[in-house]
Amino acid sequence: MQPPLKLTPGPLPETITPPSGPPIAISAPSRGLFGLAPAPFVEGDFVAALQMPDGRWSVVQPAPEPFPNSWQQRVLMWFAISLALVAPVGWLFARRLVKPLDRFARAAEQLGRDPSVAIGPLDGPAEIGRAAHAFNLMQGRLRAFVDDRTAMVGAISHDLRTPLTRMRFRIEDVPDDVREGLLEEVDEMEAMIAQVIDYIRDASTPGVRERLDLATLVEEAVEDARLVGGTVEFEHSDPVPVEIDVLGVRRVLDNLLENAIKYGDRARIRLRTEAGSAIAEIYDEGPGLPEDEMERAFEPFYRSEAARSSEKAGSGLGLAVCRSIARAHGGDVQLKRSGEGFLAEMRMPLAYDAERPLAA
């Protein structure tokens, strides 16, 4: 028997020449659609033997081929062509689905910064439009609920003035050694009611959001605090663009600076940005509050034992107002201890588009 003839896997040749004897003709098969399909393969692990006319045998077996072989290369090529054709269409389709969702998420984030803003109609699938409509309905219902409760508290506070007035007249008939103390209590209650009414009025009519540099507003608050005798230092910073209710945020800064000067003698304010937020840090040199009272200080009309014993004027509503205004902007107000002194931190979200011009 002759040694085997090695046959490399791939398209069949036109002839196979055995070790001896005439060549064996092999018909050429069709090359498939548009001539792109390859000829049939001879592949696999096999041994083929052919007896020649002289009685001898010619043996054919495939020779191993490295990876990737010609068939694998063609499969990879067809995968690449298919990917090149499908990828642009898939990208356009995904973009059409994702873009309305991005606008919807942006509108929802804007709603968290400004409760009065409404989500307009959004292009895209019908489900996006229905979600925007449901969001607007939810916002209207929540707004109506808050307005009703706010109006009720305001009406109750206003009506309390009538019995306080009657009490003031009745106090005139009590002995002199008791009258002064009772009048002080009535005056304090009237001041608290006036502050509640002012807060309700401001909360029920949120101001228009204006884009400006927060540093300019901080500078104005610092100058006003200095005019009334306060010692305040301000560390200047780069422009900090925000979209805020100017009067509301100014009220927050004024309250925090007033507390720092009142209980800490002097104040130092630093303005910086961090992770999409504008942060105003107001430090003072006072004793501050214990850890378990830092959150309670934001409860309406709460005053710590140190504040009450200091005999300094206050109703305990200032910090509650500050936090309410800050959270209405999507921010917050917190009290902390630090190595630089007692810290009151106001955090506000930065404006969306930092390239837009700021208000003068």
For 39-62, the pLDDT digits (tens) are 455 556 777 888 888 888 888 777
Work out the pLDDT band at 5, boundaries 50, 70, 90: very low
Quickly count: other Cβ atoms within 10 Å of residue 269's Cβ. Answer: 24
Average pLDDT over residues 4-26: 50
Instruction: Mention every residue, 6+ apart, whose C-beta is less than 8 A from residue 331.
Output: 277, 346, 347, 348, 349
Return d(Cα 281, Cα 294) in angstroms, integer.
16
* Last residue within a domain, chosen from 29, 46, 65: 65
Peptide bond into 68 cis (omega under 30): yes
Question: Do the Cβ atoms of 296 and 302 come closer than 8 Å?
Answer: yes
pLDDT tens readout for residues 93-115: 888 777 777 777 777 777 666 66
pLDDT at 204: 58
pLDDT at 218: 92
pLDDT at 172: 79
pLDDT at 44: 62
pLDDT tens readout for residues 236-267: 777 889 988 888 899 899 999 988 888 888 88
| Domain total of the chain | 2
Taking CA 37 as the corner, what is the angle to CA 34 and CA 42, rounded to the nearest 5 degrees?
A: 150
Domain assignment of residue 32, yes or no: yes
Work out the pLDDT band at 355, boundaries 50, 70, 90: very low
Domain region containing 24: 5-65
Q: Name the H helices within the chain.
A: 70-113, 126-159, 161-171, 176-204, 214-227, 246-264, 305-309, 318-328
**What is the CATH number for 323?**
3.30.565.10
pLDDT tens readout for residues 306-352: 666 666 666 677 888 888 888 888 889 999 888 888 899 999 988 87
Residue 80 has pLDDT above 80, yes or no: yes
Return d(Cα 176, Cα 180) in angstroms, integer.
7
Q: Taking each helix axis from N to C terminus, what angle separates 161-171 and 126-159, rounded to the nearest 10 degrees? A: 10
- 282 burial type by CB count under 10 A (0-12 exposed, 13-18 middle, 19+ buried): buried
Work out the pLDDT band at 7, boundaries 50, 70, 90: very low
pLDDT tens readout for residues 197-207: 777 766 656 67
pLDDT at 188: 77
Domain assignment of residue 250, yes or no: yes
Nearest to 282 by CA among 230, 360, 341, 344: 344
Domain assignment of residue 340, yes or no: yes
pLDDT at 40: 52
| Side chain identity, residue 144 | A
Question: Do the Cβ atoms of 206 and 245 come closer than 8 Å?
Answer: yes
* Last residue within a domain, chosen from 21, 48, 65: 65
Residue predicted with more confidence, 272 or 354:
272
Domain assignment of residue 170, yes or no: no
